[in-house]
């Protein structure tokens, strides 16, 4: 019997690999997709290695990747990840930047792994988006582009941008993406395949573990909160979250109310508001940009919901925090 539905079509996943990339980051990104294809008993992810040319792409070690396509090709992708290491701040290929921008206009979900987010930023594609990057590159990126909103987290999914710190963090990212497209139970199967049993949330490791933060060990709730934290800018519906958790919407709401004292969507809204509160105090983004980054339709809607939750307007909250009040 098939593990997932037979009507699932494969996602086309482009991986633009830059010379000097770290093999660990690359493998942590692509191996979960290979395992998903194997465990799903059909192609769920079609992976396409992309190079600047057709020449072999050499890692920082001894590994080599052979590209199947080159920058400039019309590939009709669903996702495109840039994997880079070494000194990505020195990357300055205008042809690549233009091609990445074209992919963004076509609606491709753009991602960066390890040093890859720096290349997306240099292409002008991270403005107004929350992002992360490997700690080795964070200070340099902040100096080059002080306007960017850089978070010291494992990965960040902000609307049509996905950034990841590299190392083993892409395994946690791919767990979130596989859960998004094929459900949390199947994502756990893939993670178990690699003995990756301790799934870290997107906000790790700078915050306490998920169980400690949420206050429960209930698996459907933890699956739901992982999905919520990975989809702050484009909130999921209750039905989508319930599907991830493997429950009906009614069962999920009953479980959240019983364990956490609030419905699933109320918990989700509070999570988004906490993110907005942090952005108000620690970012230069405008109220409209913060509203969009936390899944609100407009700054007026955001301001009303924020004031209802915290008793003050977002602008007042920002001013008070700036004054240390």
* Helix, coil or strand: residue 59: strand
Using an 8 Å Cβ cutoff, are 287 and 303 in contact? yes
pTM of the model: 0.70
Can you tell me the mean pLDDT for 102-106? 97
- CB-side exposure of 274: number of CA atoms within 13 Å? 9
* Domains of the chain listed by start with CATH number: 11-172 (3.40.50.880), 209-325 (1.10.10.60)
301 CB neighbour count, 10 Å cutoff: 11
β-strand 45-51 against 69-70: which pairing, if any? parallel
Q: Measured between alpha carbons, how far is residue 295 from residues 190, 191, 260, 275, 278 in Å?
A: 29, 29, 22, 10, 15
Distance, in Å, from the CA atom of 194 to the CA atom of 197, rounded to the nearest integer, reads 8
Structure tokens at 108: 């491709």
Q: pLDDT band for position 211 (50/70/90)?
A: confident
Distance, in Å, from the CA atom of 71 to the CA atom of 100, rounded to the nearest integer, reads 9
Confidence at residue 149, expressed as pLDDT on a 0 to 100 scale: 82
Q: pLDDT band for position 204 (50/70/90)?
A: low
Give, as one character, the DSSP assignment of residue 159: T
| Dihedral sign, Cα of residue 49, residue 51, residue 58, residue 156 | negative
Residue carrying structure tokens 């983004």:
285
Using an 8 Å Cβ cutoff, are 233 and 157 in contact? yes
What percent of the chain lies above the pLDDT cut of 70? 91
237 CB neighbour count, 10 Å cutoff: 11
At 120-152, the pLDDT tens digits run 999 999 988 889 888 777 767 776 777 788 887
Confidence at residue 282, expressed as pLDDT on a 0 to 100 scale: 64
* Helix, coil or strand: residue 215: coil
């Amino acid at each position: 019997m098939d593990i997932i539905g037979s009507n699932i079509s494969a996602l086309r996943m482009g991986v633009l690999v830059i010379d000097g990339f770290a093999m660990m980051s690359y493998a942590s990104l692509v191996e979960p997709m290979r395992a998903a294809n194997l465990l799903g008993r059909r192609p769920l992810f079609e992976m396409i290695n992309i190079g600047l040319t057709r020449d072999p792409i050499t890692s920082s070690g001894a590994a080599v990747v052979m590209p199947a396509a080159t920058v400039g090709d019309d590939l009709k992708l669903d996702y495109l990840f840039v994997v880079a290491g070494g000194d990505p701040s020195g990357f300055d290929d205008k042809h690549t930047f233009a091609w990445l921008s074209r992919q963004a206009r076509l609606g491709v979900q753009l991602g960066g792994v390890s040093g890859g987010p720096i290349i997306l930023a240099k292409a002008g594609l991270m403005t107004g988006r929350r992002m992360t990057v490997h700690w080795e590159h964070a200070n340099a990126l902040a100096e080059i582009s002080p306007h960017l909103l850089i978070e010291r987290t494992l990965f960040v999914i902000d609307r049509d941008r996905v950034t990841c710190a590299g190392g083993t963090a892409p395994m946690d990212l791919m767990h979130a993406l596989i859960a998004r497209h094929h459900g949390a139970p199947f994502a756990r199967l893939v993670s178990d395949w690699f003995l990756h049993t301790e799934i870290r949330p997107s906000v790790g490791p700078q915050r306490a573990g998920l169980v400690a933060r949420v206050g429960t060990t209930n698996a459907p709730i933890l699956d739901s909160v992982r999905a919520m934290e990975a989809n702050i800018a484009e909130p999921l519906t209750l039905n989508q979250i319930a599907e991830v958790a493997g429950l009906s919407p009614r069962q999920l709401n009953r479980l959240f109310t019983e364990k956490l004292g609030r419905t699933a969507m109320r918990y989700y809204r509070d999570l988004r508001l906490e993110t907005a509160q942090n952005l108000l105090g620690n970012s230069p983004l405008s109220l409209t940009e913060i509203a969009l980054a936390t899944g609100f339709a407009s700054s007026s809607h955001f301001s009303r919901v924020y004031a209802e939750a915290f008793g003050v307007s977002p602008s007042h909250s920002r001013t008070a925090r700036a004054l240390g009040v």
